[in-house]
Chains A and B, each alone.
Chain A
Amino acid sequence: MIINLRGYKKMKIAIASGKGGTGKTTLSTNLTALFAETENVVLTDLDVEEPNSGLFINGILIKEDIMYKMIPNWNESTCSLCGACQKNCNFHAVIQLGPQILVFPELCHSCYACSELCPTDSLPMIKQRMGQLKQFKKDKITFVESRLDVGQEQAVPLIGQTIEYIEKNFPSDIVRIFDSPPGTSCPVIEATKDANFIILVTEPTPFGLHDMKLAVETMKELKKDFGVVVNRYGIGNDEVIDYCKENNIPILAKIPNTRKVAELYSKGELVYTELPEVKLELQKIKNYILNLKINN
């Protein structure tokens, strides 16, 4: 069934990029603020290893949650040392060393296989703190960010739980924007896999093109609808534009490169309110999103 989004369900938009530093956060925060001029919007910073959208959304803290992941805890007294746990662990997070079982929490993916398949129930899962989720409010913007604790190596469980939190706490008739981590590895997959549409932000340079191609391939593999926003338009060359045309990838906007953007950004300010030429481009993205149809 196809539903027009003007009315019912609204989009979950993930803002991602192959290359880092292309403007994901700038686009996420400014686009959120533009939406919030007329409607409620939820912005979520899923770049849990270094969340920074909050620097531009100075909301009021309304909620704080400690986030946990589940890891197995070895019970020596009941263990029969059969070795099933280490055979069942795909991540080598559970290792049998003679008469003892070692658990490596940083390698554990919380899949429960060792625990559920232990014939003597000697690996019960216990909570381990991995980070913190905070929710802020500013006018029509709800801002949620998760932050991984220092020393934690896995972003994926925290990203997954943060998306679940959004699903559970916000109705689907609100636009939800997700600022994703850069790159094309597991955290990006986790952050984008449930989105209805992905915006890939790139810059028109050889590096930008190279990493955008990787991101495009990733989105194709995930069978996602996506479009490209060219940021810092005016530097570099036309290769990004040509590539998108050749591959029928929609270019949603070209945000012009100006020194003023960098100045405002460096002060933690929104840019579109000061720069009409940027606002015009953001408006194009907003219209594009509002006219997207979601395949339920």
Chain B
Amino acid sequence: MKIAFTTKGAEWDSEMDPRFGRTEFILVYDDEKDEFTSFDNREIENEAHGAGPKTSQKLFELGANVLITGNGPGGNASAVLEKAGIKIYIGAGQMSVKDAYEAYKNNSLKEF
């Protein structure tokens, strides 16, 4: 399973980015292969509109099954994520990626 995180850096101990659409990075952890990939999403700053759907589409392309984020996506982004069948967990905005993964494993994150 591929778990995507919205983050402020490309490392396992980077801080989470509480924003979804305008997150700086997306980290994807494949827990079956124990593989770790990152995507630099900072170009999104130049977009005036539609950051949510665009980042959602990126998650789909990255093949994510689960999204772990902070505040949670807005309406347009949610619509894409739902169609893409991605499960969303929120409330990890103030954690490190590592802590967010632990929290997810312990079922202490809220499902969106």
Residues of A within 8 A of B (CB): 86, 91-93, 95-98, 100, 102, 104, 106-107
The answer to whether B60 touches A102 (Cβ under 8 A) is no
Q: Verify B50–A97 contact, CB threshold 8 A.
A: no
Task: Select B53's contact among A98, A100, A107, beta carbons within 8 Å.
Answer: A107
Q: Decide: A107 and B76 in contact? CB cutoff 8 A.
A: yes
With a cutoff of 8 Å between Cβ atoms, the chain A residues found around residue B50 in the complex are 91-93, 104, 107
Q: With A93-B53, A97-B80, A104-B76 given, name 11 new contacts (CB 8 A).
A: A86-B57, A92-B47, A92-B50, A92-B54, A92-B57, A102-B53, A102-B80, A104-B50, A104-B53, A106-B76, A107-B50
A and B contact pairs by CB, cutoff 8 A, 7 listed: A91-B50, A92-B49, A93-B50, A95-B56, A95-B57, A97-B80, A107-B50
User: Cβ of A96 and Cβ of B76 under 8 Å apart?
Assistant: no
Are B49 and A96 within 8 A (Cβ)? no
Return chain A residues, CB-CB under 8 Å to B47: 92
Contacts A92-B53, A107-B53 given: A97-B83 contact, CB under 8 Å? yes
**Residues of A close to B103: CB separation below 8 A:** none
Q: How many of B's residues come within 8 Å of A, CB to CB?
A: 14
Q: Which residues of B are in contact with A by a Cβ distance under 8 Å?
A: 47, 49-51, 53-54, 56-57, 60, 76, 79-80, 83-84
Collect the chain B residues with CB atoms within 8 Å of residue A95's CB. 53-54, 56-57, 80
Q: Are A91 and B80 in contact (CB under 8 A)?
A: no
Using Cβ atoms and an 8 Å threshold, which residues of chain B touch A107?
49-50, 53, 76
Q: How far is the CB of A258 from chain B (nearest CB, A)?
A: 42
- B78 nearest CB across to chain A (Å): 11
* A97 and B84 within 8 A (CB): yes
Q: Are the C-beta atoms of B76 and A98 separated by less than 8 Å?
A: no
Residues on A with C-beta less than 8 A from B83 are 97, 100, 102
Question: Which of chain A's residues has its CB closest to B79's CB?
Answer: A102
- Closest chain A CB from B30 CB (angstroms): 19
Residues in B whose Cβ lies below 8 Å from that of A100? 83
A119 to chain B, nearest CB (A): 21
In the bound complex, residues from chain A placing their C-beta under 8 Å from that of B80 are 95, 97, 102
Residue of B nearest to A100 (CB): B83
B43, chain A: closest CB distance, angstroms: 12
CA distance A98 to B57 in the complex (A): 10
- Which chain A residue lies CB-closest to B47? A92
Q: How far is the CB of A188 from chain B (nearest CB, A)?
A: 15
Q: Is A92's CB under 8 angstroms from B60's CB?
A: no
Chain B residues with CB below 8 A from A86, complex form: 57
Taking CB atoms, residues of chain A closer than 8 Å to B60 are: 97-98
Please, how many angstroms separate the alpha-carbon atoms of A178 and B79 in the complex?
A: 38
B71 to chain A, nearest CB (A): 19
Question: Which 6 A-B pairs rank lowest in CB-CB distance, beginning with the nearest?
Answer: A92-B50, A92-B54, A107-B50, A91-B49, A92-B53, A95-B53
| CA of A95 to CA of B21, assembled, Å | 14
Q: Among the interface residues A86, A92, A97, A98, which one has the most CB atoms of the partner chain B within 10 A?
A: A92
- Cβ–Cβ < 8 Å partners of A96 in chain B: 57
Given contacts A97-B57, A97-B60, contact A92 B79 (CB under 8 A): no
* A71 → chain B closest CB, angstroms: 14
A-side contacts of B54, CB under 8 Å: 92, 95
Name the B residues within 8 Å of A98 (CB-CB): 60, 84
Closest to B50 in A: A92
A77 to B86, CA, bound (A): 26
A102 to B82 CA separation, bound complex (whole angstroms) = 12
Which of chain B's residues has its CB closest to A154's CB?
B49
CA distance A114 to B57 in the complex (A): 17
Chain A residues whose CB sits within 8 angstroms of the CB of B57 once the complex forms: 86, 92, 95-97
B39 to chain A, nearest CB (A): 17
Given contacts A97-B57, A107-B76, contact A92 B51 (CB under 8 A): yes
A104 to B56, CA, bound (A): 13
